[in-house]
Amino acid sequence: MPPTDPKTLSTLRIWLLASRPRTLPAAVAPVAVGAALAFAAGQFRLGPAAAALLGALLLQVGVNLANDYFDFRAGIDTPDRLGPLRVTQSGLLAPEAVKRGMMATFALAGGVCLYLVAVAGWPVLLIGVLAILSALSYSGGPYPLASHGLADFFVFLFFGLVAVAGTFYVQTLALNARVFWAAIPVGLLITAILVVNNLRDIATDARSGKRTLAVRLGPRGARLQYALLVSAAYAAPAAGWLAGATPFWGLLCFLSFPRALQLIRRIAEARGAALNPVLGATANLALGFSLLLALGLILAA
């Protein structure tokens, strides 16, 4: 755990902590798969692909800052939380500073979206607006998604299906079944990251009234959810291959399967703060799986 005394940290380091870099694989993974699908279709375009990556990273950082700010305001983040350092709750940054950083990050994401609208048309504008609204609604607004057990679905939708399909679309201006077959396992693994986070925080979330899906399911149910998500992520490419939508080389992602089994065993045993390494490892699994899937798609081209 990094030190919490503001005098020991530079301003840059504090903002880096606020961005939660360990969560950023969740932004890189779907873009890598979407770009590989475009390459396999012979329509890879560096500019739109790079903009999609930048936009995804900005949205992830924006969500992290929003979560930091809104959970502090709602009294959800307290000194007894077990997760990594929160800059607002710890006093490293003033709440209004985090709020300004959040809005600036979403504004930058909006700027990237406008470039992609110029490249790929109005559907991208709709996707961008919905993505930013969902990011803000994750922890904030009159009906916070995370507090009502809906965050898992929206993470799967936007960081899986929309991110992969959107990256492909801004390069090709088209969609096909192969895109969605590839997006499903990515979304499932990224959702599994959230499950670990919420499993760790069940006790503190329940006390604060934050009714995440993990709180509703209980520890045993959340662990089962994790195992099902990870297992389904590997079943999806196999099913896609049998359906003729995923090339054989796409099964290269199974090279990460032993690591997935290790994590399923670890989450069954870990409790409290011991889940923090599992969270980071799950993010790395999602990235590794996605890079292997992307490589397989490129090799099959």
The domains of the chain are located at 15-299
**How many DSSP H helices and E strands does the chain contain?**
12, 0
pLDDT of 173 above 90? yes
pLDDT band at 119 (very low <50, low <70, confident <90, very high): very high
- The answer to whether 196 touches 214, Cβ cutoff 8 Å, is no
For residue 173, the 8-state DSSP code is S
Q: Where are the alpha helices (DSSP H) in the chain?
A: 11-19, 25-40, 46-73, 95-120, 122-139, 151-156, 163-172, 177-200, 202-208, 213-242, 257-269, 275-299
Each residue's pLDDT tens digit, 66-82: 988 888 887 765 666 65
- The answer on pLDDT for 1 being more than 60 is no
Instruction: Give the pair of three-digit tokens for residue 235.
Output: 């079943």
Query: What pTM, to 2 d.p., does this model score?
Result: 0.91
174 vs 301, residue with greater confidence: 174
Q: What is the pLDDT of residues 185-222, one digit of tens each?
A: 999 999 999 999 999 989 888 888 889 999 999 999 99
